Chain A
Amino acid sequence: MDARLRRVNKEISDCKNDKTSNISVELVDNSPFHLIGSFLGPEETPYEGGHFQVDIIIPDSYPFQPVKMKFITKLYHPNVSSASGAICLDILKDAWSPVLTLKSTLISLQSLLCSPEPNDPQDAEVAKHYMTSRASFEETARYWTHIYAGGPGKDGKKSGKTGDSRDEVAMAGLDKAHVDKFEALGFERSKVIDVLRRLNYRGANVAKLNDDRIVEELLK
């Protein structure tokens, strides 16, 4: 049997047999080379209670070249693109070793959620948010977990409530009062959210950015 197929089959059955790590992989289109992995958000993090899915593609030269992974579930994390789900993790690139497995890689992803590396970010805006205001960042991350990953949310509300304007502000990790203030000047709400998010109008940064600068940006 083909060494790659044998190895992948063994890895899949290893994941299925392992009940302790809460990690599972499923086949897409019955091909063992395109999988969906999933794991639970680690405890005592903003991702707790969330169920995160990862798209896994096994390249032809596996295991000598790393697997290709990206998040299907949206999450708010400095090392994961909030738009595409692309992941910045060394073992998926040059630190890959053929002895690493799907299970160990997924566990590494899980531990990446515990300890973000904002100095080597995938999503610079999220990383800025993380660096300037941890509390606000965690609130937003928790909110995203609640909305997208079926997490419990701030007040233990049921998930799936999206769309209203309160959500947009919370999703961007902004303060509702700030958004209201600039909206009152006659700018579109979505534009205000976009600009404030881009300028990282949060926490201690609010004092550093004066209103003129924001309005200037809004007028562009």
Chain B
Amino acid sequence: MSSDYELSDNEYYDEDDDEVMYDDEDGSASEMDVDFRISPNTKVKSYEIDFDSLSQAQVEKQISQDVEDISGIFGVEPEVASLLLRNYNWNKERLIEKYMDSATAVSIAAGLALPEKPDSSSRSRATQSQPVGAVRRTTRRNTNEQPKSGKTKILERVTPPLDDQPFVCPICFDDSQTKTMSLQCNHKFCTECWNAYTTSKIRTEAEHWITCMAEDCKLVATDDFVKSALKDDADVFTRYQELVVRHYVSCNKNLKYCPYPSCTHTVSCPAGASKSALTTIVPIVTCGASAGHKFCFGCNVDADHRPVVCGVAKMWLQKCQDDSETANWIKSNTKECSKCQSTIEKNGGCNHMTCKKCKYEFCWVCMGPWTEHGTAWYSCNRYDEKASIDARDAQSRSRASLERYLHYYNRWANHEQSAKLSVELYTKTERKMEEMQITSDMTWIEVQFMKKAVDEVFKCRMTLKWTYAMAYYLEKNNQKELFEDNQRDLERAVEELSELIESSIDPESALPLRQKVTDKTVYVQKRNEIMLEDTANGFLEGRWKWNMSIDGFDEPTEYAY
């Protein structure tokens, strides 16, 4: 048992069956353990959701598929089809319908053709030859006559116009420029100005809809035109393509752009797209670029807020931002030892505190003596309703609700802080592990158990953190009791593991410690899954009742507080 447990996850579960059975005796997760006996690797967990991560190239492929479809149906060039689609927010059906009604109107709206009567202020030359009314024919004819050129709309000329006047660009007033470009409207500007203009539109305004520079001219540059205007400046053109992709993604509710800075991946999650689904599932997704790019598909929280659903998470975060209630406790980052009153600052992840001065052992969260925490009546995670009634008698009602809030907030914030501290602690431990590799006969792979344990503690503390937000809003009933039982089991296990991680390591104790830590890690992992699984199922079954009205849920029957 001590040698091979790195081999597979299945072995973890086999080894730990006894402990699960033992824990199920308090009735919280009896339905769960049946599930856990089935191979956990193949089962779809109810707290996880199906999603696909798409790279920018994959989205571009989808886009070009749509563009090809439209291009085939309408008989227009792909770049024209692309502009038509963009103007209709990539809604193919609506575009087809409208295009069948009036191709001319759709083309004008999409900036592909000039309106019937160009107004006098626009500087289009009188020599403009094509009858602008026949837009559809124009486009068609272009495709028929020069199907392979792909440059029908880029009129790049090296020679000045026919008249004797040398060309003076109306923007930079430079008469030495001989190269000009123009869209179909024939508003000519020098290539330098087009370059500066498109670059500025793309870089500064993040615009993918680049209109002609002339005043009131609504014609739009096609991709090819943009490319040649940029003089093949690859960086800016890449940015342009990215903007088109972003536009496509923002128009499709099944897609979301990864919110992490400079990430170009997209996540497709149809299950999390509808608002009504958000009351039963928590669509936490990860983009393909990095495992750290974890975000919620349903709301804009860029972190894993499982097990609570978006509506509850949002309410809780809003409440926490409200200074009126947080100011009361924010003042102190330190606490006094309840025996000798020395001021103590927490510097590790574990909540088992020992006062440096009087050696009093207590729990950082509830400030009670630590001896109580090891016994069966561990009750650190639960708000003491009895004490709360007493408080209500003595003090005002508002004071009690503040205390209730602070109870949950304290634990919420504490888990967050502890999680951070355990990661910091790990960097110290890591050094120790390296030393151990040299002094003892352990291999690199054998000292990795610490990393696993710290990762698991971090993950579980994140779950625990959000369970307190959830418990704050849960109506007090049997379901909440069960929820808190699960929460307590997880919390106790996490605290024990956390303490193990912090214990001092020396060559003699290394092996037994490794054994303990590994066992505990597996157990904690399982408790976390139970917590997430049960809460997720509760949402699917509509088991949770709230003590206040929450977006998307039924009104509570009565207010508990």
Residue of B172, B196, B197 with most chain A CB atoms under a 10 A cut-off: B172
Contact A10 B214 (CB under 8 A): no
Contact B200 A6 (CB under 8 A): no
Contact B197 A64 (CB under 8 A): yes
In the complex, chain B residues 129-184 whose Cβ is within 8 Å of any chain A Cβ: 170-174
Residue B313 at the chain A interface, CB threshold 8 Å: no
Task: Pick from B123, B196, B214, B215: contact of A64, CB below 8 A.
Answer: B196
Query: Which chain B residues border A210 with CB–CB below 8 Å?
Result: none
In the complex, chain A residues 73-132 whose Cβ is within 8 Å of any chain B Cβ: 97-100
Contact B214 A99 (CB under 8 A): yes
Given contacts A98-B171, A99-B213, contact A3 B200 (CB under 8 A): no
Residue A203 at the chain B interface, CB threshold 8 Å: no
Query: Which chain A residues border B214 with CB–CB below 8 Å?
Result: 97, 99
Shortest Cβ distance from residue B170 to the other chain A in the assembled complex, whole angstroms: 5
Contact B204 A6 (CB under 8 A): no
Given contacts A97-B214, A98-B197, A98-B213, contact A63 B171 (CB under 8 A): yes
Residue A7 at the chain B interface, CB threshold 8 Å: yes
Shortest Cβ distance from residue B298 to the other chain A in the assembled complex, whole angstroms: 32
Query: Which chain B residues border A97 with CB–CB below 8 Å?
Result: 213-217
In the complex, chain A residues 1-53 whose Cβ is within 8 Å of any chain B Cβ: 3, 6-7, 10
Query: Which chain A residues border B174 with CB–CB below 8 Å?
Result: 3, 6
Task: Pick from A3, A6, A65, A99: contact of B170, CB below 8 A.
Answer: A99
Shortest Cβ distance from residue A26 to the other chain B in the assembled complex, whole angstroms: 21
Shortest Cβ distance from residue B229 to the other chain A in the assembled complex, whole angstroms: 12
Nearest B residue (CB) for A4: B172
Q: Chain B, 197-208, contact with A by CB distance < 8 Å: what is the 0/1 string?
A: 100110010000
Q: On chain B, which size bracket covers the interface? A: 10 to 19
Contact A65 B200 (CB under 8 A): yes
Shortest Cβ distance from residue B196 to the other chain A in the assembled complex, whole angstroms: 6
Task: Pick from A3, A7, A61, A99: contact of B215, CB below 8 A.
Answer: A99
A98 to B170, CA, bound (A): 9
Contact B201 A7 (CB under 8 A): no
Nearest B residue (CB) for A3: B172
Shortest Cβ distance from residue B210 to the other chain A in the assembled complex, whole angstroms: 11
A-B CB pair tally, cutoff 8 Å:
39
Query: Which chain A residues border B215 with CB–CB below 8 Å?
Result: 97, 99-100
A183 to B193, CA, bound (A): 62
Query: Which chain B residues border A65 with CB–CB below 8 Å?
Result: 200, 204
A99 to B204, CA, bound (A): 19
Shortest Cβ distance from residue A33 to the other chain B in the assembled complex, whole angstroms: 16
Shortest Cβ distance from residue B320 to the other chain A in the assembled complex, whole angstroms: 33
Query: Which chain B residues border A3 with CB–CB below 8 Å?
Result: 172, 174, 192-193, 196
Nearest B residue (CB) for A94: B205
Residue of B171, B174, B216 with most chain A CB atoms under a 10 A cut-off: B171
Contact B204 A61 (CB under 8 A): yes
Query: Which chain B residues border A98 with CB–CB below 8 Å?
Result: 171, 189, 193, 197, 213
Contact A6 B216 (CB under 8 A): no
A3 to B194, CA, bound (A): 13
Nearest B residue (CB) for A91: B215
A6 to B168, CA, bound (A): 13
Query: Which chain B residues border A99 with CB–CB below 8 Å?
Result: 123, 170-171, 213-215
A3 to B173, CA, bound (A): 8
Query: Which chain A residues border B201 with CB–CB below 8 Å?
Result: 64
Query: Which chain A residues border B189 with CB–CB below 8 Å?
Result: 98
A63 to B193, CA, bound (A): 9
Q: Chain B, 312-328, contact with A by CB distance < 8 Å: what is the 0/1 string?
A: 00000000000000000
Query: Which chain A residues border B204 with CB–CB below 8 Å?
Result: 61, 65
Task: Pick from B173, B196, B213: contact of A6, CB below 8 A.
Answer: B173
Query: Which chain B residues border A61 with CB–CB below 8 Å?
Result: 196, 200, 204
Q: Chain B, 464-482, contact with A by CB distance < 8 Å: what is the 0/1 string?
A: 0000000000000000000
Shortest Cβ distance from residue A12 to the other chain B in the assembled complex, whole angstroms: 12
Contact B216 A7 (CB under 8 A): no
Nearest A residue (CB) for B197: A64
Shortest Cβ distance from residue A44 to the other chain B in the assembled complex, whole angstroms: 24
Contact B172 A6 (CB under 8 A): yes
Query: Which chain A residues border B217 with CB–CB below 8 Å?
Result: 97
Shortest Cβ distance from residue A2 to the other chain B in the assembled complex, whole angstroms: 10
Nearest A residue (CB) for B212: A97
A7 to B171, CA, bound (A): 7
A3 to B168, CA, bound (A): 13
Nearest A residue (CB) for B214: A99
Query: Which chain B residues border A63 with CB–CB below 8 Å?
Result: 171
Given contacts A61-B204, A99-B213, A100-B215, contact A10 B197 (CB under 8 A): no
Nearest B residue (CB) for A96: B215
Given contacts A97-B215, A98-B197, contact A10 B173 (CB under 8 A): yes
A3 to B213, CA, bound (A): 16
Residue of B123, B189, B197 with most chain A CB atoms under a 10 A cut-off: B197
Shortest Cβ distance from residue B118 to the other chain A in the assembled complex, whole angstroms: 15
Shortest Cβ distance from residue A100 to the other chain B in the assembled complex, whole angstroms: 6
Shortest Cβ distance from residue A9 to the other chain B in the assembled complex, whole angstroms: 9
Residue of A10, A63, A98 with most chain B CB atoms under a 10 A cut-off: A98
Residue of A10, A63, A64, A99 with most chain B CB atoms under a 10 A cut-off: A99
Sampled A-B contacts (14; CB under 8 Å)? A3-B172, A3-B193, A3-B196, A6-B172, A6-B173, A7-B172, A7-B173, A10-B173, A63-B171, A97-B215, A97-B216, A98-B197, A99-B215, A100-B215
By a beta-carbon cutoff of 8 Å, the part of chain A in contact with chain B is 3, 6-7, 10, 61, 63-65, 97-100
Q: Which 8 residue pairs are nearest across A and B when measured between Cβ atoms? A: A64-B200, A97-B215, A3-B172, A98-B213, A10-B173, A64-B197, A98-B171, A61-B200
By a beta-carbon cutoff of 8 Å, the part of chain B in contact with chain A is 123, 170-174, 189, 192-193, 196-197, 200-201, 204, 213-217
* Extra A-B contacts (10), CB below 8 Å, given A3-B196, A6-B172, A65-B200: A3-B192, A3-B193, A6-B174, A7-B173, A61-B200, A64-B197, A65-B204, A97-B215, A97-B217, A99-B171
